[in-house]
Amino acid sequence: MKAEPIYRCWAEVDLNALRENLAWLRHRVGPEVGIMTVVKADAYGHGLKAIAALLMQSGTDVFGVANLNEARDIRAVGRGWPILMLGACLPEERPAAVKDDIMPTLSTLAEARAYSKLAVALDRTVKVHIKVDTGMGRLGVSAEVADRLVRAVMRLPGLVMQGLYTHYSAAEDDARFSARQRQRFASLVNRLRHAGILIPSIHANNSGALLHEPETLFNLVRPGLMVYGIVPPGKRRSTLPLSRYLRPALAFKCRVSLVKEVPRGTPLSYGGTFVTPRKMKVATLTAGYGDGYLRAGSNRAWVLVGGKRCRVLGRITMDQMLVDVSRVPRVRVGDEAVLIGSQGRESITTTELAEWGQTIAWEVLTSITYRVRRVYKGASAA
């Protein structure tokens, strides 16, 4: 029997959990609504190519990406799936987007004209989505004048008006502001319908809006964080028992590399920001901010060793960190330490780690670096 490889720091990705999360989301939105799975930032740190392959098998309808390299990684896995570039293409990127059949996001007539010129020159048809700014302030045309841009795009040669969308900026936190966004976008959609303009894909709901803005499902949704089994945290509370339906797909782990007894009064790690208040048993772990573990968790975060919560001591360094294992009598060098995930009856969530690091779950996941090996588990793992 082949021995299991030994990793110093790794992320386990449960493909079955991802498949089940997507199935639940599809059940929630119903059979008439398509799903655009957002896989930007290396599929939220889970590994883009492996996740794209799974999602193709599991029935995603469209992929959402942030740049052309992500789109090309998906094309390398399998051709034929629609891909929307959620950010604006740079002028130098537009020819490649047209040649690779990537749907661009448009915010201006100038962008539309540039794509039309390219489409004609390359003898291609470019399916485009227009982004509507209802309150996010990044990309998009104002909702009050967006119908003019839609009409102009429909007159340009080589372009097909495939989608119209907006993005909630505070669906998890601010019901009043979200209502204003909802009303502005819905009013635009109604004006276009009354004018006889039917656009194939209308979409507004990200993960947070899927929980809190059911009136704007339209016919396509864009889940990101929820596909990976994490509920977007915020002030607004869902009545759904989401822990029953969604399972986090990623666990972040490392090893114990050294265990030693440290006397009272000993400063630990850079700057001596932690001084032992008593004799302590301290373990060195093989993970640090070079692996994507947040340095802001210094003296604040907890990990699991031997099925117990162990406090992080002192500053987290590039490749290592120190934890208090005084309550773990049988800890040994080589033992598994869990940074995110479960061990025994205890668990540490991505959201908890985000709180300790004074950030958000999205950053925790996408900060996990390239040197952390992704290990895929489940029925679809190669």
Q: Which residue has the tokens 């009043």?
A: 176
Tokens encoding 211: 């929980």
Pair of tokens at residue 35: 């799903």
**Residue 221 to residues 36, 133, 218, 239, 369: CA-CA distances in angstroms?**
6, 17, 8, 20, 29
338 backbone dihedrals φ, ψ, rounded to 5°: -105, 120
Q: Would you call 260 a catalytic residue per the annotation?
A: no
Q: Which of 40, 131, 253, 308 is catalytic?
A: 40
Annotate 127-155 with DSSP letters as a single string. EEEEEEESS--SS-EETTTHHHHHHHHHH
Determine the length of the chain.
382
**For this structure, is 270 an active site residue?**
yes
From 99, 260, 270, 279, active-site residue: 270
- Residue 15 near residue 376, CB atoms below 8 Å: yes
CA pair distance 365, 108, nearest whole angstrom:
33
Whether the CB-CB separation of 281 and 332 falls below 8 Å is answered with: no
**Residues 6 or more apart in contact with residue 182 via CB below 8 angstroms:** 134, 204, 213, 215, 216
- 108 with 146: CB under 8 angstroms? no
**Helix 48-58 × helix 15-29 angle, to 10°:** 50
SS3 of residue 171 by DSSP = coil
Cite the active site residues.
40, 270
